[in-house]
Amino acid sequence: MNKSILTALTEDELDVLVSIAIRRAEVLDESNSPAANDAWREVMMYEERLARMTSAAEIPGGIARLGAVTSALAAGEREKAAELAEQYLMEESLPKERRHAIQRALDEYKDSLAKRFPSLSKNGRLAELDKWRARARQMPSVFPLAA
């Protein structure tokens, strides 16, 4: 979906797209499909758009901001999630419970990485994992991704 179409969508239309995209991403995740990360990136894109068009003080706006951060994490985009979290946490009107939810999502993700990669965590090198993942995504793939 190109960006001009995305900007023309209403909040209700984006809500529908988010719900569909989340379910698709969850199904792909559960089946361990390599396409799951791309599906979570799609969710992130919709949530970011919703966050731009809604107020942080309102429930839909707070949920969209949290959704953008958590979907970025689910896509393995920790740097993007941290960037979004920083941006959203600077908004004074963001309710306290959404602030805590965003921070908790970041902390839980970091804890899960620490459990999966104990040696990197022990040596304070989890950030290297993000850099390696970013480089790997840019490299051409020998095998096509399965749908």
pLDDT at site 4? 61
Mean of the per-residue pLDDT values of the chain: 88
Radius of gyration of the chain (CA): 16
pLDDT at site 1? 56
**Which residues contact residue 106 at a Cβ distance below 8 angstroms, ignoring those fewer than 6 apart?**
69, 73, 81, 82, 85
- CA dist 61 and 53 (Å) reads 8
- Is pTM beyond 0.85 here? no
Could you tell me what percent of the chain has a pLDDT over 70? Answer: 90
| Res. 43: pLDDT tops 60 | yes
- CA dist 147 and 132 (Å) reads 24
| Res. 140: pLDDT tops 80 | no
- CA dist 36 and 7 (Å) reads 24
